[in-house]
Amino acid sequence: MKVVSLFTGAGGLDLGFARAGFSTAVACEMNKDACATYRANLGPEMVEGDVRELIGRLHSGAAEAVVGGPPCQGLSIAGKMDPLDPRSTLIDSYFDAVEKVAPQTFVMENVDALLSMKKWALRLSAIRARAQAMGYGLFCTVLNAADFGVPQSRRRFFAIGGRGMTDDEVAAIVRPVVAALKTAPTPAIEVFRRLGPQGTALNPATSRAIVTFSKNPVMRPTAYAGMLFNGAGRPIDPSRPSPTITASAGGNKTHLVDEEQVFGSGRSFSEAYHAHLSKGGAPGALQIPSTLRRMTLEESRAFQTFPEGFAFHGPTSARYRQIGNAVPAGLAFVVATAARAVLDAARSGRESGFDVAA
């Protein structure tokens, strides 16, 4: 079973689809560092360039599946949420590729706001209409990676299409597959203890960003939210999946790890400082211990469930960005398994003579 992979990045989706039995016919990505990462770890199928230029080279039947996550900055609550952001139009380019290849199934990944916010209702309606016009039933859902054994809370939108099916038929296939793959949450401490303290051969130090107190701390019910320290990175509660790994990590936006809490006494400086502030204590009155530090690249890789030994290319900031931009490979496998079930049903329907898209 072949896949055309678009907006591929470092290959998180492709890893999940490979695990589910697919192989990549062609992948396309503009970022040169991500392309180098893909070729070094996954294979030579990567085409470096604009997806819109690749479309003319595709043909009907090139693959049984088309997958990809068009850039989401125009839709994300982390961005400006600008409907006119030109990057948002790349969703249309993605469906141009689906129309050209005419696969049995497709998977489009994006931010959860596409399904959860009324602001994007018209955009979602246009996606549904485009799929229907091409003869695909469509099931749209938001999945949290933490529900499937990924040690990270990360909510993503997925649109899964089935050729010659109705929306209800695709939903009836996908829902039980996804439900069957749900697991208990994996706490962040499992990642930290597996890799060991920062500075070892398995977990080299990679973020030089220092940790200081926020001049105007933002308080929340727990120490693991709000803003107690400089930058947008949050302390990680080791008893729970980590917060979402972001593409802007590497500097002050990198999440925080307390090695005393994970490897030592179990005491959390963040919790102690939060308690201090809650009692009316002055901001910055305590001393930040050396054990409170930023998350490493290797830890970021593990939280995104890229396999051990997966080597990222480019400057440090580019490697953090590739990791943060990716679909966790573990979540990609869940979606790929559902897409394979849709593909099998679509094939069965075609052989029975009721493929409406033929």
CATH number for 39: 3.40.50.150
| Integer angstrom CA distances of residue 167 from 109, 153, 261, 264 | 17, 28, 48, 52
pLDDT digits (tens, 9 = 90+) for 246-292: 999 999 999 999 999 999 999 999 999 999 999 999 999 999 999 99
Contact 224, 237 (CB under 8 A): yes
Check whether residue 151 and residue 212 sit in a common domain: no
In a domain, 289, yes or no: yes
CA separation for the pair 55, 44 (Å, rounded): 19
CA separation for the pair 111, 339 (Å, rounded): 19
Looking at residue 13, its pLDDT comes to 98
* Residue of 76, 246, 73, 60 lying closest to 152 (CA atoms): 246
Beta strands in 58-104 (DSSP E): 65-68
Check whether residue 152 and residue 36 sit in a common domain: yes
In a domain, 78, yes or no: yes
* Residue of 304, 96, 275 lying closest to 186 (CA atoms): 304
Of the pLDDT bands very low, low, confident and very high (cuts 50, 70, 90), residue 106 is very high
What size, in residues, is the chain? 358
Looking at residue 325, its pLDDT comes to 96
Check whether residue 200 and residue 276 sit in a common domain: yes
Looking at residue 353, its pLDDT comes to 47
- Specify whether 72 is catalytic: yes
- Structure-block tokens of residue 117: 């916010």
Q: Tell me which amino acid residue 254 is.
A: T
- Expressed as residue numbers, the domain containing 308 is 188-314
In the chain, the percentage of residues whose pLDDT exceeds 90 is: 88
In a domain, 356, yes or no: no
Looking at residue 72, its pLDDT comes to 59
Check whether residue 29 and residue 153 sit in a common domain: yes
Check whether residue 82 and residue 211 sit in a common domain: no
Check whether residue 179 and residue 202 sit in a common domain: no
Check whether residue 262 and residue 276 sit in a common domain: yes
Mean pLDDT, range 143-147, rounded to an integer: 98
Check whether residue 121 and residue 11 sit in a common domain: yes
Of the pLDDT bands very low, low, confident and very high (cuts 50, 70, 90), residue 347 is confident
In the chain, the percentage of residues whose pLDDT exceeds 70 is: 92
Check whether residue 60 and residue 127 sit in a common domain: yes
pTM value?
0.92
Check whether residue 334 and residue 290 sit in a common domain: no
Has residue 8 got a pLDDT over 80? yes
Of the pLDDT bands very low, low, confident and very high (cuts 50, 70, 90), residue 351 is low
Mean pLDDT, range 294-308, rounded to an integer: 98
pLDDT digits (tens, 9 = 90+) for 41-98: 999 999 999 999 999 999 999 999 999 999 855 544 455 555 555 546 899 999 999 9
* Residue of 214, 225, 194 lying closest to 296 (CA atoms): 194
Of the pLDDT bands very low, low, confident and very high (cuts 50, 70, 90), residue 119 is confident
Number of domain units in the chain: 2
Check whether residue 288 and residue 330 sit in a common domain: no
Alpha helices in the chain (DSSP H): 12-19, 32-41, 51-54, 90-101, 113-116, 121-133, 167-180, 188-195, 259-263, 269-278, 297-303, 316-325, 329-351
Q: What is the DSSP letter of 242?
A: B
Looking at residue 83, its pLDDT comes to 55
Has residue 210 got a pLDDT over 80? yes
Catalytic residue among 28, 35, 72, 140: 72
Looking at residue 80, its pLDDT comes to 52
Mean pLDDT (the chain, rounded): 93
Of the pLDDT bands very low, low, confident and very high (cuts 50, 70, 90), residue 356 is very low
Looking at residue 354, its pLDDT comes to 43
Bridge partners (DSSP) listed for residue 29: 48
Of the pLDDT bands very low, low, confident and very high (cuts 50, 70, 90), residue 358 is very low
Looking at residue 133, its pLDDT comes to 97
Looking at residue 262, its pLDDT comes to 98
Looking at residue 348, its pLDDT comes to 78
Q: Which residue has the tokens 């560092």?
A: 33
Mean pLDDT, range 173-192, rounded to an integer: 98
Check whether residue 136 and residue 37 sit in a common domain: yes
In a domain, 358, yes or no: no
Looking at residue 88, its pLDDT comes to 61
CA separation for the pair 241, 236 (Å, rounded): 8
| Integer angstrom CA distances of residue 106 from 42, 180, 264 | 21, 21, 47
Bridge partners (DSSP) listed for residue 276: none
pLDDT digits (tens, 9 = 90+) for 327-342: 999 999 999 999 999 9
